[in-house]
Chains A and B, each alone.
Chain A
């Protein structure tokens, strides 16, 4: 079973929840894998002493245009949905803007004069680790200056396999990287905060997940600050509230020092175990 931990808004506590769920399940000896899908800024590794097992590069194919063979028909540029082929026939200029390219291959297909070949460009890496307790942790990491982590995330989730419970620590937002992560999930655990900003992004996340027919539940972090907007919204929309975490300096301190609260607080260990048990008992451990 794959559980994505996502939020919409950044800084609500996705990584906090994902790492502690992983810690609780691995502490109980269950088969569990953590995948850090926040490829722009992966940081799950900060919380676990881990040994690197393997690393693979994720590439995509970008076009290379042979100007001598080009007939200046413009089809490649017209077919490109991402404005990645810059084409000014009057000036005899045609150029691939590599960081706009999504590697879809439409231009190669569109070209009728064999003027386009492709070359691989490295987008990022997928690295497998084993934690000191012997549990797999997979990290997606986007290369600096690359724009889209989608392929790297996809490769990392694939690398994690299907064994037991796979926890996907999602990137923030509700755009392609989020969608790529939750698309593979059997259940989405949304972490939010009781602020207007938190609510606005929660709403976007819920609406996106509904169009994808994904089941979700919510944890409200720092639940004792802010306003009641999030709770009212959950009630109106009948979205399950799985738990609330109040603000605590002990939690903030341990997190900021790279420690896990489930190593330090029995209450928090019980809280995360309860969340995991609830999701697993209701949705099973099988994968769709």
Chain B
């Protein structure tokens, strides 16, 4: 299963970005293969609709779970319709790597 983790930077040592739609990077982690893909978020500075556009982006990567600090109000129903699980994890000091370690436990 692929999991999207919002990241403040381009490495696994970066912290978990607390905002979903306007995060700096998405780390797409594959729990089966251990593969990692890091994508810059093109919607970071979108004037409007960053949340839905970001859902669209991670959904196109076949992600089934998203881990971030906060999710906006517009996207809950979209995630439901795509059967993507939303995990709220308000830990700004945690690194992306530590989040991946938790997934592997």
Contact = CB atoms under 8 A, between A and B. Distances in A.
Interface of A: 77, 82-84, 86-91, 93, 95, 97, 99-100, 147
B56 to A, nearest CB: 6
A86 B56 contact: yes
A83 B59 contact: no
Listed residue (A89, A97, A99) with the most chain B CB atoms within 10 angstroms of its CB: A97
A87 B56 CA distance: 6
B59 A91 contact: yes
A109 to B, nearest CB: 19
B48 interface: yes
Contacts of A99: 74
A90 B50 CA distance: 20
Nearest to A148: B48
Given A86-B55, A90-B62, A95 B46 contact: no
Contacts of B104: none
Contact of A86 (B43, B46, B47, B78): B78
A87 B78 CA distance: 10
Contacts of B88: none
B33 interface: no
Interface in B12-63: 43, 46-50, 52-53, 55-56, 59-60, 62
Contacts of B78: 86, 93, 95
B60 A88 contact: yes
B50 A83 contact: yes
Contacts of A89: 60
B87 interface: no
Contacts, number: 44
Given A87-B56, A88-B56, A88-B59, A82 B49 contact: yes
A265 to B, nearest CB: 44
A89 B82 CA distance: 11
A100 B43 CA distance: 15
B49 A100 contact: yes
A74 B49 CA distance: 17
A112 to B, nearest CB: 21
A76 B30 CA distance: 31
21 contacts: A82-B49, A83-B43, A83-B46, A83-B49, A83-B52, A83-B53, A84-B49, A86-B55, A88-B59, A89-B60, A90-B59, A90-B62, A91-B82, A95-B78, A95-B81, A97-B52, A97-B74, A99-B74, A100-B49, A100-B52, A100-B74
Listed residue (A88, A91, A100) with the most chain B CB atoms within 10 angstroms of its CB: A88
Contacts of A87: 56
A257 B62 CA distance: 59
A93 B53 contact: no
A25 B4 CA distance: 62
Given A86-B52, A91-B59, 4 more contacts: A83-B43, A86-B55, A95-B81, A99-B74
A87 B53 CA distance: 9
